[in-house]
A and B are shown apart, each in its own frame.
Chain A
Amino acid sequence: MSGDEANLYSALGLAPPNAQTLAYSPLTASNPLYELMRSHAVEHNILTLTLPDSVQDRGSLQIGVSPQSSEDSIRIPFANATSPGLANSWHVPLDSVSLNGNIKLHLPLASVYGRLDLEPAIRLPPSFTEVIYKAIGATPNSLFHGASIACTAREKLPDLILNIGGNDVKLTRDEYSSEQLVYGHPVCVVAILPSDEEGVAVLGTNLLRKFRVVIDMDRSELGCKRAHLHIRSSC
């Protein structure tokens, strides 16, 4: 480790407000966002997250910015599912997963919730991940954070469409796959992984960095809007 990495010995948890967590076990204590709301430090209990795309890029975490009506934004109520994999998470219903391109596939999901996460991957329930791997010719690979795929096949990967709370969100092949050099040889990786539970999905940074992600704690809603400073897609 070096530079900033060596300094990353502090952590700020942004899990949903909770007065009684075991973050400081065995003590039961409130978490930072609960304490933010309790302090009435801001008029609007809203987080707006814009992630950087690279180490050279910069993003922002805005706290308390007022909600703005916007034609290019969607709002999805946060769910309150009780699966262990969804504890301490911001999660929304994931209604279906589709592939749209030279390969077409539509997988309706029932009682599956997507957890917002800063992991660089999309995780889907294991049985659905398996179907997608088969459709695109990917192979699970523990050496990479994802599944490997022939680079010639990567060129033809279809769009991945996640229906989140009734809204289609499209990821292009470049947004959910990458080409990496390993010992000088190109290796292509699809950032789709199986989740630990059938009812749990993970909406990672492949998705989140496309948008300005608004976590509205007052309304318990996820907002998703076109970035103002970064030119990014709308939902």
Chain B
Amino acid sequence: MRFEIFVFRWLGLVATTASTAYAFHLPEHQIPLQNVLQESLGQQKYTSKYAGLGVLDDPRKLEDLFWSLTTEDAINAFQNMPALEHGGHKRPIVLGQYKPDIPATSKESQALNGNHPASLEISMSTIGGYPVYHTPIAIGNPAQPLRAWLNLNLNGLYVRSTACSKQDCGRGYTYDPSRSATRKSIGHRFEVHPKDWTVGGNVSSDTLHLVSIDVGNATVGEIDKYEGEDLFYYVMEFIADG
């Protein structure tokens, strides 16, 4: 079996902020690993070294993820996870939930960041047989979850704005600039013309959340104009400088 859990420092806030309203709402099939552990092993509290989103299907490093968890308890916990069975598959698990909805500039937010590393889960999809890699990110305050295509040679952070019509931009994750308290307009629009296509929108700055890391005043290209074939990733290949 393989153990895949994607971890990042979270300062052990799960236990202390359980009642806080979270900016990042978990899908129904994802549950905090702390909850699973406490249910499996009784009421003992386990504090995570990390927070993250991922799939757990092997107990080997559970003890590495929680300060007070022994190897024996890790194995017991893994073997007593009936709640994770869903449709014959192990459910995805979150190790810790997204951090609470607090202003990115507040002292609490700075404490949450704490210069600690983060880990984002990378998934792969194929478009026309061509693999693309993507990861969950979030932008704004409250954080708006998005799924971003990754490119090692691209300079921009581009998001699909709610201002782009469904007809032009399809469905799925969108960024609503009006809902973010930290979004600032830069007062410029960008527009690029890869081949015969057009991609454009407003340029703004907002907080980029990479799980536990906040990048304040990140430049964001809010795509609200998209004319071309439905091959966004291919279009983006041409947006990089050069």
Interface set of A (CB-CB < 8 Å, partner B)? 1, 3-15, 18, 21-27, 29-32, 35-36, 39-44, 49-52, 54-55, 57-66, 84, 87-90, 115-118, 120, 145, 205, 229-230
Q: Is the CB of B123 within 8 A of A52?
A: yes
Known: A14-B150, A57-B4, A88-B241. 4 other contacts (CB 8 A): A12-B135, A14-B154, A118-B131, A118-B151
In terms of DSSP, what is the predominant structure of the interface of chain B?
A: strand
Shortest Cβ gap from A79 to chain B (Å): 15
- Asked if B215 lies at the interface with its beta carbon under 8 angstroms from chain A, I say yes
Q: Is the CB of A9 within 8 A of B186?
A: no
**Chain A residues, Cβ within 8 Å of B158:** 10-11
Shortest Cβ gap from B233 to chain A (Å): 6
Q: Is the CB of A12 within 8 A of B148?
A: yes
**Chain B residues, Cβ within 8 Å of A8:** 125, 127, 132, 134, 147-149, 232-233
* Chain A residue, CB-CB nearest to B220: A24
**Chain A residues, Cβ within 8 Å of B232:** 8-9, 11
Q: Is the CB of A14 within 8 A of B152?
A: yes
- Asked if B210 lies at the interface with its beta carbon under 8 angstroms from chain A, I say yes
**Chain B residues, Cβ within 8 Å of A27:** 186, 188, 190, 203
* Chain B residue, CB-CB nearest to A83: B242
Interface set of B (CB-CB < 8 Å, partner A)? 2-4, 6, 8, 54-55, 61, 113, 115-127, 129-135, 137, 146-160, 169-175, 186, 188, 190-192, 203, 208, 210, 213-219, 221, 223, 230, 232-233, 236, 239-242
Shortest Cβ gap from A104 to chain B (Å): 31
**Chain A residues, Cβ within 8 Å of B124:** 51-52, 54-55, 57, 59
Q: Is the CB of A32 within 8 A of B208?
A: yes
A27–B191 CA distance with the chains assembled, in angstroms: 10
With A12-B157, A32-B215, A118-B133 in contact, do A88 and B3 touch (Cβ < 8 Å)?
no
**Chain A residues, Cβ within 8 Å of B151:** 11-15, 118
Q: Is the CB of A10 within 8 A of B219?
A: no
Q: Is the CB of A61 within 8 A of B155?
A: no
Neighbour of B118 across the interface among A9, A14, A25, A64, CB < 8 A = A64
Q: Is the CB of B157 within 8 A of A13?
A: yes
Neighbour of A63 across the interface among B119, B153, B219, CB < 8 A = B119
Q: Is the CB of B116 within 8 A of A12?
A: no
Neighbour of B160 across the interface among A10, A51, A55, A58, CB < 8 A = A10
Q: Is the CB of B122 within 8 A of A52?
A: yes
A7–B160 CA distance with the chains assembled, in angstroms: 9
Q: Is the CB of B150 within 8 A of A61?
A: yes
**Chain A residues, Cβ within 8 Å of B131:** 118, 120, 205
* Chain A residue, CB-CB nearest to B4: A58
Residue from B113, B123, B127, B155 whose CB has the most chain A CB atoms within 10 Å? B155
Q: Is the CB of A4 within 8 A of B215?
A: no
Shortest Cβ gap from B103 to chain A (Å): 16
Neighbour of A18 across the interface among B152, B155, B214, CB < 8 A = B155
Q: Is the CB of B173 within 8 A of A9?
A: yes
**Chain B residues, Cβ within 8 Å of A84:** 242
Shortest Cβ gap from A11 to chain B (Å): 5
